[in-house]
Chains A and B, each alone.
Chain A
């Protein structure tokens, strides 16, 4: 074993003339919760599909749980749990029927017990005989997660599992993810939510099918070298467009009564603020947040990358 649950290099994938994944190398340490981030169309979904054998890469090689992704797709299917972005269980089957179907396909030996555990964990007990279509978004996602872990996979791939789910349900869903991780499961989870990214041991940021940065949230923020200045006290709505026109200002964003200005060079940013000639503001430098870093990356894609459509 490599000590890596995922270890791939040089992955490429095109759809027609559109390059979605380009020379992607990726390593995920066994047992960690790894956040998978990137803009829409950055290749997150495609990467997950390549990892679990749903797509065949045009080039590249590597292993998932030590199994070759090119030749071991069947074995990978047995050991990986994959939760699709779009709900992909049967809306016209009940919670219990869906889980039984998946468990039987996996040939789970102690089916009753495995289903019971998954239902218990996901808190689905009260919904056992409810049709999946009648569940709300949050409960559908819990059902999908329960189905994805029924066969006790060693690696869990979750594709935007909390999109469109309310804050409380999202938090509970993440508690569940950490429970699974505590049991030794490796989790690769894609998300657009920064609070979720911060709950990951490590984040991987993808842009234009390339891996741009990886590390813990703190490391990513530290490596980005961006400067953030916050201002309060003035007319923020009017000030923002003026600041955006200044050289050295990358973004100027209104957050309620505060104005958040970012750039890569502290001196240039100060100069730009002075040049904008704004009055009545109180300025102070604040530590960058993860979303500042990602917006910076989206605005400044590394050389040679281009943004495709879709996931």
Chain B
């Protein structure tokens, strides 16, 4: 038994290789997951997003205004849509439809020509500082010379006199603190990990331990098993986010601009989404290990495509479409919207309905995949 035996080492190696070859889940995970990561990081993720939806509120359509709009579009950072009123633009900003509002005051051209140096107001959605960072820099870089070609050759317009000013305001997060973006989102992320995994394990564990056979022979209905297994984890989930929220507010200074009960209610629906998905996984997976591996395939897009770490608007359309299917994308928007923007029911309703649809569809699948026999 002394020393390193090559024969024993080979025996161990051979056994391990045989077991690994039969463990398809692990092989799939180690081969497929990096591929997905490669493509997501390579094609979907963009920390310098361009073509950000931008609302333009402008009373008149003067030549100077057109110059400024063209210059902004030329930076490639802004996709400009015209909104009739400030109020409509404001609403769009809260609903995540646009990320900037460019408000050009009435009589802009006249004021420029009078040398009054009028101000253009740029409101940026500061709830995601990363997403707006480069775009705001581009606005500042435009400077006054945008108009220089069209300005009359008047000595009054020589430096240092400025034709107009840009006042930039990062809404909801004036100091552009990253924590204010990440911490509210953590509510959704933490819940994804805890509730999805715990339900995914719940049924699989019964099967792996052999207790499923006894449970199946007892007179209990699938819905009873489902609800009974899930509710304790809902409670645990709420305990968890209460803790996260408390720390977010006390330690990180996250504001609670909207209604907390509304947020907690919407989060309940998000928990339901995760539990339903976890239940489907647990019905399909044969072992707890497999369940964990399947959960990985949910976690990866949830982290990368939801807008948690990387700007949602920076992703190509296909990636945004995948992100929109994931309940976490909507939960993130709700959490950030209610806490930072003070969003109420009208603003969060679209996200709530999408999550409800997801929960319902996956819930039906969950009940259908639950087998009452061992067949």
Contacts and interface: CB of A to CB of B under 8 A. Distances in A.
Nearest to B217: A82
Nearest to A102: B218
A84 B209 CA distance: 12
Interface in B212-271: 212-220
B374 interface: yes
Interface string A36-75: 0000000000000100111110000000000000000110
Contacts of A55: 373-375
A252 B214 CA distance: 42
Contacts of A91: 209
B213 A56 contact: no
Contacts, number: 50
Given A88-B214, A89-B211, 10 more contacts: A53-B373, A54-B373, A55-B374, A84-B217, A88-B210, A88-B212, A88-B213, A106-B218, A106-B219, A147-B214
B36 to A, nearest CB: 32
- The 10 A-B pairs of least Cβ separation, nearest first, read A88-B214, A86-B210, A105-B218, A77-B219, A82-B217, A84-B213, A88-B211, A88-B210, A88-B213, A54-B374
Given A78-B219, A105-B219, A56 B375 contact: yes
Interface size class of A (residues with CB under 8 A): 20 to 34
Contacts of A52: 217
17 contacts: A49-B374, A54-B213, A54-B216, A55-B375, A56-B375, A73-B372, A74-B219, A77-B219, A84-B210, A84-B213, A88-B209, A88-B210, A88-B213, A88-B215, A90-B211, A106-B218, A147-B214
A101 B163 CA distance: 80
A94 to B, nearest CB: 15
A147 B209 CA distance: 17
Nearest to B224: A105
Interface residues of B, number: 16
A82 B209 CA distance: 17
Nearest to B220: A105
Contacts of A88: 209-215
Given A82-B217, A102-B218, A105-B218, A87 B210 contact: yes
B374 A77 contact: no
A91 B217 CA distance: 18
Interface of B: 209-220, 372-375
A188 to B, nearest CB: 14
Contacts of B372: 73
A84 B210 CA distance: 9
Contacts of A56: 373, 375
B214 A77 contact: no
Interface in A103-162: 105-107, 147
A118 to B, nearest CB: 15
Chain A CB within 10 Å — which of B219, B220, B374, B375 has the most? B219
A55 B375 CA distance: 6
Nearest to B212: A88
A247 B220 CA distance: 58
Contacts of B212: 88
B219 A84 contact: no
A80 B220 CA distance: 14
Contacts of A73: 372
Contacts of A90: 209, 211
B217 A54 contact: yes
B214 A84 contact: yes
Contacts of B209: 88, 90-91
Contacts of B213: 54, 84, 86, 88
A206 to B, nearest CB: 19
Contacts of A82: 214, 217
Contacts of B220: 105
A197 B63 CA distance: 103
Contacts of B218: 77, 102, 105-106
A78 B219 CA distance: 6
A89 B217 contact: no
A85 B218 CA distance: 16
B373 to A, nearest CB: 6
Nearest to A91: B209
A53 B211 CA distance: 16
Contacts of B211: 88-90
A55 B217 CA distance: 10
A102 B211 CA distance: 12
A87 B212 CA distance: 11
A106 B373 CA distance: 18
A89 B212 CA distance: 9
A54 B220 CA distance: 13
Nearest to A54: B374
Contacts of B219: 74, 77-78, 105-107
Nearest to A90: B211
Nearest to B209: A91
Contacts of A77: 217-219
Nearest to A77: B219
A54 B372 CA distance: 7
B228 to A, nearest CB: 10
Contacts of B375: 55-56
A80 B217 CA distance: 9
A89 B201 CA distance: 17
Contacts of B374: 49, 54-55
B207 to A, nearest CB: 11
A58 B216 CA distance: 19
Contacts of A102: 218
A84 B214 CA distance: 7
A146 to B, nearest CB: 13
A102 B214 CA distance: 9
A89 B214 contact: yes
A92 to B, nearest CB: 9
Contacts of A105: 218-220
A78 B210 CA distance: 20
Contacts of B214: 82, 84, 88-89, 147
Interface string A183-205: 00000000000000000000000
Contacts of A54: 213, 216-217, 373-374
